[in-house]
Every structure is written in C-alpha cells, then in structure tokens.
Structure 1
Amino acid sequence: MSFTSRSPLRRRGLAAAGTAAVLALTLAACGASKDPSDASSMPGMHHGSASSPSASATGTPGMDHDSMPGMDHGGSGDGLADAKDGYRLTSDVDQLPADKAGGYRFRITGPNGKPVTGFAVDQTKRMHFYAIRSDLTGFQHLHPTMAGDGTWTAPLSPQKPGSWRMFASFTPDSGPGRGKGLVLSRTVTVPGESKRSPLPAATTSTEVDGYTVRVKGAPMAGMAHPLTVSVSKGGKPVTDLQPYLDTYAHLTAFHEGDQAFAHLHPETEVNGDHGGPNLSFHAELPKPGNWRMFLQFRTDGTLHTAALTLRVG
C-alpha cells in the first residue's frame, strides 16, 4: 500500500504519535534548561571564591563582598600539589635556617610558563601564605609582598628543625584561572636535630590568652556540616570581636599525616566591633581523621590564635 492510500484512521494515529514525540522533546528541553547555578547552591560545596579584581599587585587591598561566607577559598583539592590547572608554585628555596627569621621567596607561574603578577583580592589580601611543620606545629599565617617581577617574599618567624610545608593561597584575576581560588604548596627542610611533637588529643575546647574557645559539631568527611565556635572569657560570652581580614574569625585546618589543607570562614555577618560569642561555619573537610584547627580572632587590636584537634568521621 502506498503512503497516499493509507486510511484516515491510520493517518490520525500517525499524527497523534508525532504530537506526542514533539511534546516529549519539548519537556526534555525544558528540563535541560534548568539554571546551572542550582548545582552549586548547597552551602559549603563551592570551592572557588569569586574575588574582586585587582588593579595592580601593590594597590590598596579591598573588601571581597562577592565571596560566600563559610566556603573553602582554597580551591578544589587538598593543597598538597605544587601545580594545578596550569598554575605552579616555584621557589629556589629548599632549606631555611633553624631558629632564625627569614624570607621565603617564591613565584606563581601561569599556564604560559610566565610569572603571574595579577591577583584578585580575597579577604583584603592578594596572597595568603601558610607555613606548618610536619607534626602540625609552628603554624604561621602571613601576607607576603610581591616585587614587580612576580616574586613574593613571605617574612617567616624562626622555625624549628624539621620538614615544613609552605602553602600559597591565591586567585588569579586574569587568564584561564580568573576568579578561581587555588592552593599550592612545596616543602622545605630546616636542618638540625628534629624532635616530633605528638598531636594533642581531639577535644572540643581550648584556651588562648585568657579566652576559651569551644567547638560544637560533628563533621563528616566530604560532607558540608554545620560547625559552631563560641568564644568566652572568665566564664562570660565575648561580644567584642573585631573584624580580621573582613570577617570575625579565620579558620585554617591541616590533616594529621599528610598536612592536607582546608580553609573556612564564619557565616556571621560583620557588624563593627561586636562579633561573638558564637560564630557559625559550614565545614567541609575532605578526609576522615584528626585535623589540627587554627582559629584566629582579634580583640582590642590584638590577634589571638587558638589551636585544637578535631576528629572528623
């Protein structure tokens, strides 16, 4: 039978089937047009902060109002590599003198192999630099200066003998990595007799400079989880925390054994010198085990650093 000789009933059936197929395709297209931003709407899941662009490496630091509080600004990964996404942390320094202050010089090179000189502002700084000994002692959080050729110098305090890891946390403001937070690291040796300090047992509270810091929450590896930090003094809640790096507290964590890096910020909105006593975080720590937490906060112009060990399941 030819196509033109089909019965009216057969033709009506074919038309209905065609209409159904078109409807199915339309529905599928509508489903595919869902806003892609929904994929990153879960708190604590976005690892690359959007930072404000810099005009130059030596410009006046600004405030990063676009970054979401509670996020990990260290980029995806654990910070243990010296290269990621075409960016590399390079340095000629393999050793540093023991018990002596000095400068650690380094560069960030881009996918084209040339030194990067344009960095976005994140928490009022274009570069955050961390030094930690292999036993998770000697924590230093610094903000190095950059020369015109892209060489950064971090002014390290005296370090004890042993193996140290140097972390550079930054966001390029141009090129293929623009707007993406990255953390790269290298190790250096401080010569001399090295005595490893045992990691303090996991706890929910610690004291520093007369302040008591308590942590409430039970983070699970690889999952965003609420974490609350409270600060008190003499048994009374502290309500005069001052802004530090555009927030009321700066929280850095390192994993026992491999020194994996994590960086978290409180969700609490900054409102003058009235921070505390409670600071809320969305913590996402990538690995189970013990993490050494370093909480930095400011009162009366003085910066305090509290350290405690947190167990992550």
Structure 2
Amino acid sequence: MRTSRLPRRVLALAGAALLTTVLAACGSSGMDHDMTGMHHGNAAAASPSATDGHAMPGMDHGTPGAEGSGAPADNRAGYRLTTTAAALPAGQPSDYRFTITGPDGKPVTDFAVEQTKQMHFYAIRADLTGFQHLHPTMAADGTWTAQLAALTPGAWRTYASFTPNSGDGKGTALILSRTVNVDGKADPAPLPPASTTAQVDGYTVTLHGTPMPNMAHPVTVTITKDGKPVTDLQPYLDTYAHLTAFHEGDMAFAHLHPETEAKNGGQGGPDLAFHAEFPRAGNWRLFLQFQTAGQLHTAALTLKVG
C-alpha cells in the first residue's frame, strides 16, 4: 500500500501545521499523562476562547495539504461544519451528529477517500486529554454520526478532516472544528512536561529530531519493547503510524503522516521517518497510533517547539 497524502493545492494557505510525524495516544499505562476516557487515540491543546468560524488574528496557518489546520474554525473555503449538539452527557457513550455544507449551502455527500476513510473525526478536551480519533458513518442525506466513547466533563473541540470529491472544493483537504461542552464540573489536568519518549502498552516510543517553528525538519520515531526493536508494525490507515498534534495555546491542529510506505501485507518498524512542519513555537501535544497483532496502540507526549 502506498501512503496516502493530502492534496498540495492549498499549500499557500497551509503554510504550516502539518507535522508529518509524532504521536497519537489513547490513554494507557506508563504514559506521561492520565489519558482517562481516551478512545482510538486522544488529546487536545485547546483554548476554550477559540471562536467557531473565526480564525484568531495571525493564526490562520494550514497544514501542508490541509486548509484550516491552524486556529480552529467551523468554516473554510465556503464549507461549514454544522451540528445541533451544543452539549453532551458525561460518563457514557454518545452520538455526535454533524453535517458538512458546501458553498451552495447544501449538504455535501461526495467525499474523497483519504487514508482509507472519507472522514476522520477527532474529539479533544481543552486540557489535551481525552483524545478520540473516529471514523463516522454518513447517512444518505449527508448527516454524519460519530460514536463517541464516554467523555469527561469540560470544554471539548471536535474536528472533521475531509476532502470534497466534487464541487468547487474538489480535491481540497479541509479541517473544520466546533466546540462542545460536556456536562459536569471540569477537573483540568496539567500539561505533562516536554519529553522525547512515551510508553504505551509495554511499548516505548522515542522521538529523534529538534523541529523548529515554520521550518520543515526531518524527525524519526523509534518503537521498542523490552529494549528490543519492534519490527511487526501492521499497516494502519495505509501507513505504519497515524500522527496528530495539537497546540497548547490555540488548539491548532496538525495531521501528520509518516514518510515510510506501508507494504501490502508487510510489516514495519522499528524506525519511522516523518516530515515535521510546525506553524509556530510552543508546546504541542503529539499522538502516535500504531498497530501490532491486530491491537491499536496510542502513545502521547508533549513536544516543545522553538
């Protein structure tokens, strides 16, 4: 399988935010953070004050190939994320329904396949905990349903990552975001200190490289277990690892892809090369998802850039 890449036609707008590397973590033992409530990948650095539909001044940075990977907004290039969910219950699974409308105001129903899915959906709490990475299902009328695992109380952000397959935005990768509150008293967790290593399910993930803001920089992730190199990584979403990152200050989103191709039926590891590009300095919470023996693992770490 060949690693899928996001379209590049929006590079001018997406001058930085796609870090093609790093980690996605679903709460697990040994991690540098309590990832309670994380499912299929979790995290978020967010500012609850980020306004839906309005990028913060000077922060409309995109990711290589993804428009809107800077400060979150619910509309980009005429496309809008709409939902009736202003609040969700805490401590129990819930369905989050949303629609993507196009420049003509009508629901979009034709989406291109990116990394084996038409839609990648993320839910992240404002303190960078509770990260969930899901692949929702779409009804004939264009309504998507993401089945969220139990959420903890507090302010959350949802992100929809997709590429229209028709219309004015055909071939343009977009990331749209909205806020949602989860009922109950929030108990914010402090951001774990910066570290180049993280543990998950007995695996150790190590990041090599020193990315700088607004500069392309190669980085490598090495995965070991019990001190030995891991070489049985299975293809996951057309690659050997799926990376997502969130900025502590404004919840900027960075969707990262490894440079290493996943071979059909083959295994990978222990080293995975990435092309990292961070739009600004500061703390980024990184999440790396990888699969072995049919089990998905998510590791998280904090990376200080600049």
Residue 252 of structure 1, aligned match among 241, 244, 269: 244
Residue 119 of structure 2, aligned match among 103, 127, 139: 127
Residue 262 of structure 2, aligned match among 258, 266, 270: 270
Equivalenced residues, count = 250
Equivalent position SS for 2:70: coil
The question of 1:81 aligning with 2:73 is answered: yes
The equivalent of 1:109 in structure 2 is: 101
State the 4+ residue runs in structure 1 displaced beyond 2 angstroms. Answer: 44-47, 71-77
Query: In structure 2, do the counterparts of structure 1 residues 146 and 242 end up closer, same or farther at CA, with 3 Å as the change threshold?
Result: same
The equivalent of 1:294 in structure 2 is: 287
The equivalent of 1:228 in structure 2 is: 220
TM-score, normalised to structure 2, is 0.79
Correspondence list, 1:1-313, <5 A: 72-78=64-70, 80-271=72-263, 272-313=265-306
Q: Percent identity?
A: 65
Return the letter of the residue paired with 2:274: F
Return the letter of the residue paired with 1:119: F
Q: Distance in 2 between matches of 1:192 and 1:236?
A: 44
CA contact (8 A) 1:72 1:263 kept: no
Equivalent position SS for 2:198: strand
Equivalent position SS for 1:153: strand
Q: Distance in 1 between matches of 2:262 and 2:127?
A: 34
Query: In structure 2, do the counterparts of structure 1 residues 310 and 45 end up closer, same or farther at CA, with 3 Å as the change threshold?
Result: closer
Equivalent position SS for 1:141: strand
Return the letter of the residue paired with 1:307: A
TM-score, normalised to structure 1, is 0.77
Q: Relative to structure 2, which stretch is displaced further, 158-167 or 77-86? A: 77-86
Query: In structure 2, do the counterparts of structure 1 residues 100 and 72 end up closer, same or farther at CA, with 3 Å as the change threshold?
Result: farther
Deviations 1:139-177 (A, max 9, x none): 000000000000000000000000000000000000111
Return the letter of the residue paired with 1:301: G
Equivalent position SS for 1:107: strand
Return the letter of the residue paired with 1:121: V
**More helix by percentage:** 1
RCO higher in 1 or 2 (8 Å CA, sep ≥ 6)?
Answer: 2
Deviations 1:14-37 (A, max 9, x none): xxxxxxxxxxxxxxxxxxxxxxx9
Return the letter of the residue paired with 2:302: T
Q: Distance in 2 between matches of 1:169 and 1:217?
A: 27
Return the letter of the residue paired with 1:285: F
- CA shift for structure 1 position 287: 1.6
CA contact (8 A) 1:163 1:187 kept: yes
Q: Distance in 1 between matches of 2:246 and 2:80?
A: 21
Q: Distance in 1 between matches of 2:248 and 2:68?
A: 19
CA contact (8 A) 1:160 1:190 kept: yes
CA contact (8 A) 2:232 2:268 kept: yes
CA contact (8 A) 2:286 2:303 kept: yes
Structure 1: where are the runs of 5+ without partners?
Answer: 1-36, 48-70
CA contact (8 A) 1:79 1:183 kept: no
Return the letter of the residue paired with 2:222: S
- CA shift for structure 1 position 72: 4.3
- CA shift for structure 1 position 75: 2.8
Deviations 1:244-289 (A, max 9, x none): 0000000000000221100111101212332100000001111210
Q: Distance in 2 between matches of 1:206 and 1:130?
A: 21
Query: In structure 2, do the counterparts of structure 1 residues 87 and 134 end up closer, same or farther at CA, with 3 Å as the change threshold?
Result: same
- CA shift for structure 1 position 223: 1.4
- CA shift for structure 1 position 220: 1.0
Equivalent position SS for 2:189: coil
Return the letter of the residue paired with 1:276: G
Equivalent position SS for 1:267: coil
